[in-house]
Amino acid sequence: MAGGRICSPLLVLLICTVLAIAAARGEAEEGNLVPKASFFPFGMKALADYVHSKGLKLGIYGDAGTLTCAKTMPGSLGYEEQDANTFASWGIDYLKYDNCHNKGVSPQERGQDNPATWAPSIGNSWRTTGDIKDTWDSMTARADLNDQWASYAGPGGWNDPDMLEVGNGGMSKEEYRSHFSIWALAKAPLILGCDLRSMDNDTLEILGNKEVIAVNQDKLGIQGKKVKKNGELEVWAGELSGKRVAVMLWNRGDSKATITAEWSEIGLKSSATVDARDLWEHTTTHSLQNQIQATLQSHACKMYILTPQ
């Protein structure tokens, strides 16, 4: 079930190659998964070694049922420990584990039904939503669903509202900026869902924004959340290391609008004097008091790091 995937371990924004298991169980191999020779003629260990030589990490896709969701490859039901040992022997760094064709085994064993409440002892991230689509409505809905579980996330265990759609063409540049910003603020896994070979300059600019990525990777690991909503105008915020605050002003409406965040609404002392770093414009405004405000086009956002002086 889409809402119950568990991933372990997650290496955020290193390009993590997620492969469908092109394998079968070989009788001569005592039921071990065997790579499909036409896909991987040199075997999985050789592939992992090659990927690691490039400074990247290698991921693989598995399933807790009898078959993968597409019914094309074997799942791990009844072979869990055996398959885990096989993946380890191949040098796999990341496992994305689905839950199709599970024969009705209990949810906690098979990865569905609100995994944020029980999965931290099993994996390093878990899906909090159904599958995302490359549309504004799908992206915003998943941001809201993921926000409900903010208190369960932290270092070593992250809420996952599904992969990034940035660069796939279904949204505007401003909408993709909002998408990347809210995923970063929510400390979501930044797994790229576009074709890396054909990214345009706008996509590279968004996905390569080191200041936004730094919010996602902040060592406190506190998930930012929605703190204010006025119709379609929203403020999201979260604490960062160094007594800083990340804040996002987000216009989800259909027309231009002004959004204001008061210090008290985002976790700052009302008397604070603050430097505001605009993470998309790469500019700093000094000595702000009481609030931060921006006028935004439809579906656009502003993202800041606020540092009290």
Q: Give the residue numbers marked as catalytic.
A: 98, 131
Terminal CA-CA length for the chain: 48
Contact between residue 275 and residue 288 where contact means Cβ atoms under 8 Å apart: yes
Counting beta carbons within 10 angstroms of the beta carbon of residue 199, is it exposed (0 to 12), middle (13 to 18) or buried (19 or more)? middle
Question: Phi and psi (nearest 5°) for 191?
Answer: -100, 120
Query: Which of 260, 262, 263 is closest to 251 using CA atoms?
Result: 260
Q: Is the dihedral of CA 124, 114, 129, 202 positive or negative?
A: negative
Count of helices and strands (H, E) across the chain: 7, 16
Cβ within 8 Å of residue 9, ≥6 positions away: 93, 94, 124
